[in-house]
């Protein structure tokens, strides 16, 4: 695909950052509307890496979610439902243990499942969305890696804020280990697609956890809420509190 075509079609991209992982010719940037967008460093008539079309869910016409699931989960002892896909068992619930629920967005399962995976030695790190500790940066939240239960707990709760995965996936490529990742469905599909092209990521990302996602927000959403209580755009800061 030529750069010109990519630039015309990218407004439909899920903007997860995977394109920037497969090609150094692409960088992720927050645009003027507060959404992440791919910026291509090449000229319009130049041709992009062919993997780009494959790894981005909204560009990829080769595979859909069912194709990916077939390859990963199809088995005689796994059930299949046309609407849900493959499953072993289905539950609805919330965490009873400790203060996971009160510190979570919903029932706390998102955080608890990672704590269990780490404590039972199935993983070395959790890739999730955390407060940006660089307070000089206008970016409030970003994907990062937690390697202790305390860090996992501090990263709980939903961030209705734009995020992308290019930097963190590059770190996973560089730093050996077993990882679990959480994301909205389009991002998890992008992770699955890039894993089909990248053996290192495939071998290191052991677990994916999908969040229900009815909507995404630009960075202006938080600013808009804060402005209503007197905090002007640009002055909003984050402070994470974990209750014990
Ligand atoms: C953008 C977005 C839209 C959502 N839309 C809906 C919806 O329409 N309906 C609905 O029922 N639920 C929606 N959710 C899911 C819901 O907000 C909770 O995240 C979910 O119920 C998990 O709750 P929990 O208590 O188990 O998670 P917690 O224990 O609070 O853990 C949440 C985990 O998700 C990670 N996380 C936080 N923000 C993001 C992010 N932006 N991207 C990836 N990971 C993140 C955290 O780092 C943490 O590890 C949405 C979540 C997001 C991030």
Report the distance separating Cα 21 and Cα 28, nearest Å: 10
H helix runs in the chain, sequence order = 3-9, 18-22, 51-55, 65-73, 109-119, 149-154, 166-174, 185-197, 199-204, 219-228
Query: Helix, strand, or coil here: 75?
Result: coil
pLDDT at position 60: 80
Question: Which residue, by CA, sits nearest to atom 41 of ligand 1?
Answer: 159
- Pick from 158, 182, 212 the residue to mutate for probing ligand 1's pocket: most ligand atoms within 8 Å of its CB: 158
> What is the residue-level pLDDT of the chain in tens, covering all 244 positions?
999 999 999 988 899 999 999 999 999 999 999 999 999 999 999 999 999 999 999 888 889 999 999 999 999 999 999 999 999 999 999 999 999 999 999 999 999 999 999 999 999 999 999 999 998 999 999 999 999 999 999 999 999 999 999 999 999 999 999 999 999 999 999 999 999 999 999 999 999 999 999 989 999 999 999 999 999 998 999 988 888 7
Q: What is the pLDDT of residue 164?
A: 98
pLDDT score recorded for residue 244: 76
| Predicted local confidence at residue 119, as pLDDT | 98
Hey, which residues does 234 pair with through a beta bridge? none
Separation CA 49–CA 22 (nearest Å): 8
Identify the residue whose tokens are 């679990």: 180
**In this predicted structure, what is the pLDDT of residue 58?**
87
CB 44 within 8 A of CB 215: no
Domain limits, the chain:
3-62+93-228
Q: Which residues have C-beta atoms less than 6 Å from ligand 1?
A: 104-111, 128-129, 155-160, 163, 182-184, 211-216
How far is ligand 1, taken at its centre, from the CA of residue 76, in Å?
32
pLDDT at residue 241 in the model:
81
């Amino acid at each position: 695909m030529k750069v010109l075509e990519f630039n015309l079609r990218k407004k439909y991209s899920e903007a997860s950052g995977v394109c920037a992982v497969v090609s150094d010719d692409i960088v992720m940037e927050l645009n003027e509307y507060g959404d992440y967008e791919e910026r291509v460093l090449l000229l319009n008539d130049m041709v992009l890496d062919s993997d780009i079309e494959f790894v981005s869910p909204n560009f990829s016409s080769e595979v859909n979610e069912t194709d990916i699931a077939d390859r990963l989960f199809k088995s005689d002892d796994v059930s299949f439902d046309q609407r849900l896909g493959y499953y072993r068992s289905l539950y609805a619930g919330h965490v009873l243990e400790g203060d996971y629920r009160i510190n979570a967005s919903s029932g706390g399962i998102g955080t608890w499942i990672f704590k269990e995976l780490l404590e039972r030695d199935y993983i070395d790190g959790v890739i999730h969305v955390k407060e940006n500790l660089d307070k000089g940066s206008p970016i409030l939240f970003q994907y990062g890696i937690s390697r202790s239960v305390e860090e996992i707990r501090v990263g709980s709760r939903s961030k209705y804020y734009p995020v992308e995965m290019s930097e963190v996936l590059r770190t996973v490529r560089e730093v050996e280990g077993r990882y679990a990742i959480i994301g909205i469905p389009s991002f998890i599909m992008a992770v699955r697609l890039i894993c089909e092209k990248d053996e290192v990521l495939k071998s290191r990302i052991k677990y994916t956890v999908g969040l229900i996602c009815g909507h995404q927000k630009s960075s202006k959403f938080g600013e808009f809420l804060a402005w209503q209580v007197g905090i002007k755009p640009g002055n909003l800061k984050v402070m994470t509190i974990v209750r014990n």
